[in-house]
Structure 1
Amino acid sequence: MNDMKGKQVYRVNGFSCAGCAGTFEKNVKRIPTVQDAEVNFPASKITVYGSASIKELERAGSFENLKVRSEDDEEDFNVKSKPFLLKYWNVLLALVFFLFGLSNQFQFGEEHVLSYGFFLLSMIAGGYSLFITGIKNLVCLQFDMKTLMTVAVIGAAIIGEWTEGAIVVILFAISEQLERFSMDRARQSIRTLMNIAPKKARIRRNDEEVTLPVKEIEIGDILIIKPGEKLAMDGEVVHGHSSINQSAITGESIPVEKHKGDSVFAGTLNTEGYLEVEVTKRVKDTTLSKIIHLVEEAQAERAPTQSFIDRFAKYYTPAIMVVAALVAITPPLIVGASWEVWVYQGLAVLVVGCPCALVISTPVAIVTAIGNAAKQGVLIKGGAYLEEIGRLKAVAFDKTGTLTKGEPSLTYFYNLSDKSDVNILQSVTAIESYSQHPLAGAIIRNAEQEQLSYHNVRVDNFQSITGKGVRASVDGEALWIGNKQLFEEQLHMTFSEHVRSILKDLQSTGNTVMIVGNHDEIKAIIGVADKARTQSEHVLKKLKAIGIKQTIMLTGDDKTTAKAIAEKLGIDQIKAELMPDEKLTAVKELRQQHGSVAMVGDGVNDAPALAASSVGIAMGTAGTDTALETADVALMGDDLEKLPYTVSLSRRALTIIKQNIALSLGLKAIALLLVIPGWLTLWIAILSDMGATLLVTLNSLRLLRKKNN
């Protein structure tokens, strides 16, 4: 399908149910110039492969008066809410006619022609679209919920049950509105994201300041952002300094300092200073646009439970029609029971059999959960991954940059010379400023934090000794900085017991050791380590508290360093000194042991292991296209705290899906049992269906209340 030419995406207004979306898709596929089409019901979109005009698409959706717009049409993002009377006029009019019919029935009797007339008008007002679709489906032998309802209502009218037929139509119309409301409420997260970024922005172009729609802004334009304004585009700060509230993109609650050269994102809020930002991406390529696209695609992807229910409903509906027919004809034929009574019971079975609540039981929960997660800075790529996260037994973590900060820092300094700490550190920093090694960065960052002046220290004859360290002359004195091997092999030095004890202590606590000295003596010993994130230990405890049985650390570091970090954080298992392919093997082994395993990494370096896991979770991915596209789940902020929230949300969603299925099937089972004593009525049947739909909807919307705390 991806090879097909002419891919076009449109937004669709007016879907009332998933079945209608399916009918629209079939109708669009029948257009001669269309090769294929896919409807995304949760996002109210259709992707057309081939060519079709908007008029042709709206004609294909005329059965439900669907309105179609281009995906880029801004008007669709701000659909105005209709007044209550216009929105529900058919239900209200049906209710008015029904009340007139009841009043006339009490006054002139049940058989009066006006009573029938008002009930008929009530059915037509409340169910005209239902009947049109139902009759079309019946002719085409397509058995969905509208087909069942149409047969039931027409049957009720034939056997003279006008009152109950009208009640059924009104209650079904209300039930449809409930389903529409539930999906609209679940889609609200997407609408919220769409409206985060301004549709216009002030830019400087050719030394002039102009306000333009975001579609007309080009890469290289300079955005002018004043305090309190939102950014309309992604870009890089070229002038100014401010704090940016990035919660809309990353979920971070604390504003982030931005200086010249820092990246900023569309939809974020400038809280303090004046900024000038060079645009680096077009509006359709911004991080926010990618998030919206990914969430819409994720909501459309069917979870395993949803796929099963869709297949089940496909066979369930015709099966219900067979059961209803048997209920209607078996008692009269076998025991000579009343045809009128049992045909009525058969019609009631048809109504009970409507799978409305069952069909929406899973998608409304999935859509709501994924939308809520997106607002909290977590992108879940689909219902399948949402369900998989809820079943996790074990979580594997990459160490560097995931459990740790990802950059080494100075942790210990032992001065063994007669010079001051400042003097030694100035000399060491001056030498390391010539080096490109990551450990040199730790020394320089420490000097800047401590405000040590080292730029005036004269360094001569700098030399890097690969794999061992560096040497240079400082103020005429030769100094070596490096590992144990450098001093043993190059300087043939023997360490004292005191020095050996310090080295052993530092290595056992996960530090990389840097020795400073000359030909004659050791002047200082420095410990450098990649420190654990402050929240890592708390996150691991929360994961255990919510039911994760095993936590594993996968790292390329040596076993001593890995063991020290693992003991500090409370990791259950470590696998150290791993190459990328060995991480992949380790994840496969963990899946065999635990069944469902998540891998948490940076989304790029750990790509093989992420792909091999049940769920690949990339963190710190704001603005990182590769990670957004490759991970199953993306934690947008560099915040490990979102992981327990994601697992907890997924488990809540799984529980709610199970509750929804039990509610929808349970209420139907109870209603069907009423057939045995002959107590089932049409209005009880539709009320059970509507009640199940309402309960399923309200139960699913509880997921909106789940917060990251």
Structure 2
Amino acid sequence: MSDKCCSSNTNEQSKITPGEQGCCKSSSGEGEPASTNDAGSCCSSSQNEIQTAGVSSSCCSSGNDSQNEIVQNATCCSNNSIESSFQCEKAEYKIFGMDCPSCALTIEKGLSRLGEFQEVKVNYNTAKLKVTGSANTSFDHVISTVQKLGFTAEPIKQNKNVRTFNVEGMDCGSCAKSIENHLNTIPEVKSVTVSFSTGKMKVEHDNKVEEIVKEVSKLGYRASLMENKTKLDETAKSNSEYRSIILSGMLIALGFIGSYTVLSPIVSAMLYALAIILSGYKPVKSAYYAIKSRSLDMNVLMSAAVIGAALIGEWFEGATVVWLFALGTALQNRSIEQTRKSIRNLMDLAPSEAWIKDGTELVKKPVEEVSVGEIVVIKPGDRIPLDGNIIHGETSVNQAPITGESIPVDKLSGDTVYAGTINESGSIEVKVTKLVEDTAISKIIHLVEEAQEQKAPTQAFIDKFAGIYTPVVFVFALVVIIFPPLLGMGSWGEWIYKGLELLVVACPCALVISTPVAIVSAIGNAAKNGVLIKGGTFLEKAGRIKAIAFDKTGTLTEGRPKVSHLKALAASEEELISIALTLENYSTHPIAKTIVSYAKDKGIQEKNGQLYKSIVGKGVQATIDGEIYYAGNVKLFEELNVPLSSIQKELQKIQSEGKTVVIVGTSTELLGVISVSDTIRETTVKALNGLKHVGIDEVVMLTGDNEGTAKMIAKEANVSRFFAELLPEDKVDAIKRLQQEGYKVAMVGDGINDAPALATSDLGIAMGGAGTDTAMETADIVLMADNLEKLPYTVKLSRKALTIIKQNIWFSIIVKFIALVLIFPGWLTLWMAVLSDTGAAVIVILNALRLLRVKE
């Protein structure tokens, strides 16, 4: 089979891997073009695929040879005509909500059943969906179909018609669902996703932005394009909302007091009616459009209760219900905004403009217009606008916004600095290495927003429960209103009132809001402290972890060997180091570099050496002052027949501690011994003790080193257990062994070398995300600083979040249960029913806000 799919102008040709069907050759292998119904990929490539997500695009890029292009394109997607093959289309999406590979299979089957696509591939590990279609394929149904299957899809590259809006006024998940349902009834809207947690709405539409904003306002919410939103507008609308609540509250108070004094019942009823109109206009309007889009949200339930109360003459009850509902909603919105501020604060960290060096002048530019390679000048006290490398100057930088480190980090020429961090002391010149959308802070914001939009398992379950609970209680309320009076069990007024109470109790606002607000608060707090938790699923998993396995090198240890001990024999220490420096200076071995670095730090000069020679697997030699000197391992000196009996005990002791021995001498005598070892990080012992303090039962070390080294490091780091002499696949077995022992296991590594173990563990945690894009992409949780200090805090925060979620759920259920029980003896009033719902929702939110204050 040909190894080329279609001509491409990319750096690498697309390859057809074994077992894949080529698009330039049929599966029969007879050289005929593959039909449009073939299951094989049109132009599949494991490396460089030409793709555009969310919009139609050709997957066959033209090459240099136009003749080859026509021949190959003619067989790419269709055997009908050359023209149709030029429009082979492909789209790529990010999938959220998959928790096992069977979810990926479910999505593949669901989309394949539509019969619109030639190929559907879902990769569970990368959470990506690739859809291939022919010339006339429409991708409009991909996002909606994935949503119906219980997941969320987002185009990896949004087209120009996909816009993001901020939505204000939502106080629970049912509000978001009502907006989605309503906008989906508009023909110009292709897809819409609304996240209650972040208050954001993504809409793919062909009509004007103003029309989308107008449609959302019909439901009683405020939508605005993210870049157009102003704080002044927010404040004005918020003040207007509170003025309306205060005025309607005064009317109710006046009517109530007046009914016992000078006012007639009719005047009091008119005051109550006016209060109902003032506070009830918005929910009734929202209810109308919710019903129109077949949604049963809290606005529908409250509106029905208020109108019903008015119809049976309970004007005071109706006015109190709608006023309490409006007040509760306003308080909920204000409280929820506190959780969303964590992301907005991150967005405000990086300055919007930068001083660019243009020859001898400084020019101020918006950061969006700054290109890679330009020189940015940052004065002391200013925030760094873009990621880059220092080319001139020295300073200390407060990296807390990125890594959560409280102590400023010294930066020299050649060091990397990050957008949003603060230049504390010296003036520096920085060469820009990343555009504004690619900076570390931009990636953090994007990842945190994605994380907050994902549903945790508990939240998904609660939403399903609420979806069943609300209609069941609604139908039950109708039964209570109609059947008892028909059966002669009481008056219509009595049972209508009970039914209205049931309608109010049917609103599961507090229950639905119990989980997402807690998750958003926890993820926002973590991001502020230099920890990226990539979703509620991983937050919940972190809270249940009982064992944590650590890779040794670069995680528990520095990953850079250091000289730990010197023993001079036939020379002084300075002479020993000078000879060792001379011998090792031309070697590229890591241990040689360690010795060279140590000597230079001590300010020791090398001698005049010549005739350097590397002895593979044993050491090095050089001639100094006419005599041959050697530096190497025990085996080298045994072959030279140099007696080692005088240092045998010393060697055994050093080796038993897991250190590497470097012997320096001639063919006749020993000058001394240098031992080199990888050292424990300063923060390791404190972090591991902190983990045990927050309830982690097993702290385990995994290493490829020998038993002696592992034992020494384990003792120093105070780990519970260790597994030594492991290959990468052995680390996977160690993780599985811990899981078989009944532990929920987290694996901490660098996100690259430990990929198999990270994938096998229940939770993958990567370190040093600020400097590595791979770590940010591969792990479930990322510690932005290159140390373990944040790990105990992360576990503590996750467990606190789980506790608060449980408290919120139980509190919401108990309040609902008590309200339901009190209805039938006649002890519950309508306003008490509303208070039990809105009051419980506010308490649940305030309880969740405690997560914003969790500290290390």
* TM superposition score category, shorter chain reference: over 0.9
Which amino acid in the other structure matches residue 636 of structure 2? Answer: L
Indicate how the Cα distance of structure 1 residues 343 and 32 shifts in structure 2: closer, same or farther if over 3 A, else same: closer
1:352 aligns with 2:352: no
Which amino acid in the other structure matches residue 601 of structure 2? Answer: Q
1:303 aligns with 2:456: yes
Structure 1 residues 25-174: aligned runs within 5 Å: 25-49=180-204, 51-64=206-219, 66=221, 68-71=223-226, 73=227, 81-82=235-236, 85-107=239-261, 111-112=265-266, 114-174=267-327
TM-score w.r.t. the length of structure 1 is 0.95
**Structure 1 residue 78: deviation in Å?**
8.6
Between 1:464-473 and 1:306-315, the stretch displaced more is: 464-473
Residue 644 of structure 2: aligned partner? 495
Cα-to-partner distance string for 1:441-477 (whole Å, 9 max, x where unaligned): 22122223322222xx112121222222212122222
Indicate how the Cα distance of structure 1 residues 83 and 219 shifts in structure 2: closer, same or farther if over 3 A, else same: same
Name the SS for the 1:367 alignment partner.
helix
Are the equivalent residues in 2 in contact too, given 1:69–1:76 (CA < 8 A)? no
Structure 1 residues 189-588: aligned runs within 5 Å: 189-329=342-482, 331-334=484-487, 336-417=489-570, 419-454=571-606, 457-488=607-638, 490-496=639-645, 498-588=646-736
Q: How far apart, in 1, do the equivalents of 2:717 and 2:670 lie?
A: 33
Indicate how the Cα distance of structure 1 residues 74 and 256 shifts in structure 2: closer, same or farther if over 3 A, else same: farther
Q: How far apart, in 2, do the equivalents of 1:139 and 1:110 lie?
A: 39
Between 1:97-106 and 1:1-10, the stretch displaced more is: 1-10
Are the equivalent residues in 1 in contact too, given 2:217–2:223 (CA < 8 A)? no
Which amino acid in the other structure matches residue 702 of structure 1? Answer: R
Are the equivalent residues in 1 in contact too, given 2:305–2:504 (CA < 8 A)? yes
**Structure 1 residue 423: deviation in Å?**
0.7
Which amino acid in the other structure matches residue 170 of structure 2? Answer: S
Indicate how the Cα distance of structure 1 residues 51 and 205 shifts in structure 2: closer, same or farther if over 3 A, else same: farther
Between 1:404-413 and 1:33-42, the stretch displaced more is: 33-42
Matching residue within 756, 759, 763 for 1:611: 759
Q: How far apart, in 2, do the equivalents of 1:159 and 1:31 lie?
A: 37
Name the SS for the 1:57 alignment partner.
helix
Indicate how the Cα distance of structure 1 residues 321 and 648 shifts in structure 2: closer, same or farther if over 3 A, else same: same
Residue 27 of structure 2: aligned partner? none
**Structure 1 residue 590: deviation in Å?**
2.4
**Structure 1 residue 607: deviation in Å?**
1.7
Indicate how the Cα distance of structure 1 residues 9 and 42 shifts in structure 2: closer, same or farther if over 3 A, else same: farther
Matching residue within 161, 165, 173 for 1:11: 165
Cα-to-partner distance string for 1:67-124 (whole Å, 9 max, x where unaligned): 55555x2755897533863242321232133233324423456641x22222111111
Indicate how the Cα distance of structure 1 residues 475 and 86 shifts in structure 2: closer, same or farther if over 3 A, else same: farther
Name the SS for the 1:408 alignment partner.
strand
**Structure 1 residue 220: deviation in Å?**
1.4
Are the equivalent residues in 2 in contact too, given 1:77–1:194 (CA < 8 A)? no
RMSD of aligned Cα (Å): 2.1
Q: How many residues align?
A: 701
Name the SS for the 1:61 alignment partner.
helix
Q: How far apart, in 2, do the equivalents of 1:442 and 1:105 lie?
A: 90
Q: Which runs of 5+ in 1 are unaligned?
A: none
Cα-to-partner distance string for 1:357-378 (whole Å, 9 max, x where unaligned): 1111000000000000111110
Are the equivalent residues in 2 in contact too, given 1:54–1:68 (CA < 8 A)? no
Which amino acid in the other structure matches residue 182 of structure 1? Answer: S
Indicate how the Cα distance of structure 1 residues 674 and 33 shifts in structure 2: closer, same or farther if over 3 A, else same: closer
Q: How far apart, in 1, do the equivalents of 2:557 and 2:184 lie?
A: 52
Cα-to-partner distance string for 1:415-457 (whole Å, 9 max, x where unaligned): 121x211011011012211111111122122223322222xx1
Are the equivalent residues in 1 in contact too, given 2:275–2:319 (CA < 8 A)? yes
Name the SS for the 2:295 alignment partner.
coil
Name the SS for the 2:549 alignment partner.
strand
1:642 aligns with 2:642: no
Name the SS for the 2:558 alignment partner.
coil
Q: Which runs of 5+ in 2 are unaligned?
A: 1-91, 94-130, 132-138, 140-157
Cα-to-partner distance string for 1:314-354 (whole Å, 9 max, x where unaligned): 01101111232344345444562233222212211221221
**Structure 1 residue 65: deviation in Å?**
5.6
Name the SS for the 1:253 alignment partner.
coil
Cα-to-partner distance string for 1:376-434 (whole Å, 9 max, x where unaligned): 110000000000000001000000111001100000111121x2110110110122111
Indicate how the Cα distance of structure 1 residues 51 and 594 shifts in structure 2: closer, same or farther if over 3 A, else same: farther
Residue 678 of structure 1: aligned partner? 826
Residue 76 of structure 2: aligned partner? none
Are the equivalent residues in 2 in contact too, given 1:394–1:594 (CA < 8 A)? no
Q: How far apart, in 1, do the equivalents of 2:568 and 2:233 lie?
A: 69
Which amino acid in the other structure matches residue 365 of structure 2? Answer: L
Q: How far apart, in 2, do the equivalents of 1:472 and 1:35 lie?
A: 74
Which amino acid in the other structure matches residue 428 of structure 1? Answer: A
Q: How far apart, in 2, do the equivalents of 1:510 and 1:53 lie?
A: 69
Q: How far apart, in 2, do the equivalents of 1:109 and 1:338 lie?
A: 29
Indicate how the Cα distance of structure 1 residues 110 and 648 shifts in structure 2: closer, same or farther if over 3 A, else same: farther
Are the equivalent residues in 2 in contact too, given 1:674–1:680 (CA < 8 A)? yes
Which amino acid in the other structure matches residue 421 of structure 1? Answer: E
What percentage of aligned pairs have identical amino acids?
47
**Structure 1 residue 546: deviation in Å?**
1.4
Stretches (4+) displaced over 6 A: none
Q: How far apart, in 1, do the equivalents of 2:476 and 2:807 lie?
A: 26
Are the equivalent residues in 2 in contact too, given 1:14–1:65 (CA < 8 A)? no
Q: How far apart, in 2, do the equivalents of 1:470 and 1:49 lie?
A: 66
- Structure having the higher helix fraction is 1
Cα-to-partner distance string for 1:225-276 (whole Å, 9 max, x where unaligned): 1111111111110100011111111111111111111000111111111101
Which amino acid in the other structure matches residue 474 of structure 1? Answer: I
Indicate how the Cα distance of structure 1 residues 303 and 427 shifts in structure 2: closer, same or farther if over 3 A, else same: same
Residue 744 of structure 2: aligned partner? 596
Are the equivalent residues in 2 in contact too, given 1:224–1:275 (CA < 8 A)? yes
Are the equivalent residues in 2 in contact too, given 1:234–1:264 (CA < 8 A)? yes
Q: How far apart, in 2, do the equivalents of 1:31 and 1:236 lie?
A: 49
Name the SS for the 1:267 alignment partner.
coil
Cα-to-partner distance string for 1:13-68 (whole Å, 9 max, x where unaligned): 42423322222223344443544332233223233346554124223313246555
Indicate how the Cα distance of structure 1 residues 44 and 476 shifts in structure 2: closer, same or farther if over 3 A, else same: farther
**Structure 1 residue 508: deviation in Å?**
1.4
Between 1:535-544 and 1:280-289, the stretch displaced more is: 535-544
Matching residue within 314, 329, 337 for 1:176: 329
Are the equivalent residues in 2 in contact too, given 1:396–1:598 (CA < 8 A)? yes
Name the SS for the 2:559 alignment partner.
coil
Between 1:654-663 and 1:78-87, the stretch displaced more is: 78-87
Q: How far apart, in 2, do the equivalents of 1:420 and 1:556 lie?
A: 36
Name the SS for the 2:560 alignment partner.
coil
Are the equivalent residues in 2 in contact too, given 1:604–1:627 (CA < 8 A)? yes
Cα-to-partner distance string for 1:485-527 (whole Å, 9 max, x where unaligned): 2222x3244420x422111111111211111122112221111
Name the SS for the 1:414 alignment partner.
strand
1:657 aligns with 2:795: no
Q: How far apart, in 2, do the equivalents of 1:507 and 1:650 lie?
A: 41
Q: How far apart, in 1, do the equivalents of 2:184 and 2:627 lie?
A: 82
